[in-house]
A and B are shown apart, each in its own frame.
Chain A
Amino acid sequence: MNLAPTPGQTVGPFFSFALVRDGYADLVSPEHPHAITLHGRVFDGAGEPVPDALVELTQGGDQGWGRAPTDDEGRYAFTTLSPAGSFFAITVFARGLLDRLFTRAYLPDAVDEAFLQEVAKDRRKTLVATADERGYAFDIRLQGDDETVFLGFPRH
């Protein structure tokens, strides 16, 4: 059987009162001895911040999922642990974005990963987080010269 999937639609502008809950951006307690921050900004094709995007982070395990809205400067942040694998799995929603987008934020030392090698060299860096004093920074550009590489999976 291969049923046709139900189409997606934009998350719209008015989702925060329903989808954003206390603790959703903390995959672990900020007091966790190995807690780090994964943070970044979401930009549109004009380089302007997107203040009404929603970012989801998937890492697996007991506490392995979180959700964070962007603020007025397009910033999102998660308190989490370094991933067990080589990347953070990320889903992006926004007003103006008619369906969700998937991407990966690879750790800085993952540049030799086979998947990254498949991506055109000049776009590869859009999939790699940078280390900083808080943990990792990963910006998402929905459109433009430095447009983030978004993923298409089989059967989707």
Chain B
Amino acid sequence: MTNLLSSSNAAVSTQPEVEAEMAAVAATAVEGEPQPRLDYPPYRSSLLRHPTKALHPANPEGIELWSPVFGEETIDPVEADLTVQHEGEPLGERMKVTGRVLDGDGRPVRDQLVEVWQANAAGRYRHEKDQHPAPIDPSFSGVGRCLTDAEGRYEFTTIRPGPYPWRNHRNAWRPAHIHFSLFGTDFTQRLVTQMYFPGDPLFSLDPIYQSILDPWAREQLVASYDHDVTEAEWCTGYRWDIVLTGSHRTPLEEEA
């Protein structure tokens, strides 16, 4: 019965057991697999939530070549600064994160909505179901929005989030991250992902990060520290560019 128990009761797995599972999956990586494996058993919640059948090839039709437009009037500029949304100032390392949103052809994605959400400096989300016994910061909601500019640039001022424990296995911890939600010009370009921080010691331990088997692809989720973004006597700065999948709107360039 131990087999059944150990595979169905995820809470009993240890970190070394999960790392061994991750290594076993990594050994099956194939060339050109830039997206996470949806079927990734080390991430326990994926077991019953990944499709088992191949995606059905489809050419985008009609409304799939369309994407919503969120007008300037719907976004308050203050939403891009997560440190000024309350009366008091949030605790933690004040930081700026900026970068460009490009499509697969290198074109800037202009005037499009970027949404972010994150834990506070102590690693606690402002969400009723987050049970991590770390303090809530009354001065920090951890939610931001902005529109990209004409060059596809976004910029948020926030607090560097802390890592936090979760219940995937015993003593499981997520590397610090900021969730990003992005739209392109086509329905098919929709992206929800997570931005990480350079040099995080939890990378090799984390099944969500490691679900992307290609090391180069994984690193695309890691921001760079950028001293030109850092502001003197004010905040640190990080740069992170985002590439959406190719648009289908215009004829594709000939392959060289």
Mark contacts of A129-156 with chain B using CB atoms, 8 A cut-off: 1 yes-contact digit, 0 otherwise. 0000000000000111001111111111
Please tell me the size bucket of the interface on A.
35 or more
A50 to chain B, nearest CB (A): 7
Task: Spell out A's residues near B (CB within 8 Å).
Answer: 1-19, 44-46, 48, 50, 56, 58-60, 64-65, 83-85, 89, 91, 93-102, 104, 115, 118-119, 123, 142-144, 147-156
Interface check B225, CB cutoff 8 A: no
Interface size counted on chain B using CB atoms at 8 A: 72
Main SS at interface, chain B:
loop
Interface stretch among B18-26, B89-97, B98-106, B226-234? B98-106
Let me know if A100 and B46 touch, CB within 8 A: no
**Contacts A7-B193, A58-B68; is A16 near B127 (CB within 8 Å)?**
yes
Tell me the smallest distance from the CB of A31 to a CB of chain B, in Å. Answer: 21
Verify if B50 is at the interface (C-beta below 8 Å from A): yes
Q: Do B36 and A156 touch (CB < 8 A)?
A: no
> Given A64-B68, A152-B54, list of 6 further CB < 8 A pairs?
A1-B106, A6-B244, A10-B208, A11-B179, A18-B179, A155-B245
Chain A binding surface SS class: loop
From A2, A59, A115, A143, B246 is in contact (CB under 8 Å) with A2
Interface string of B97-130 (1 = CB under 8 A from A): 0000011111000000001110000000111011
Residues of B near A84 (CB, < 8 A) are 62-63
B176 contacts partner chain A, Cβ-Cβ < 8 Å:
no
- Is B173's CB within 8 Å of the partner chain A? no
How far, in Å, is A89 (CB) from chain B's closest CB?
5
Query: How far apart are B53's CB and chain A's nearest CB, in angstroms?
Result: 6
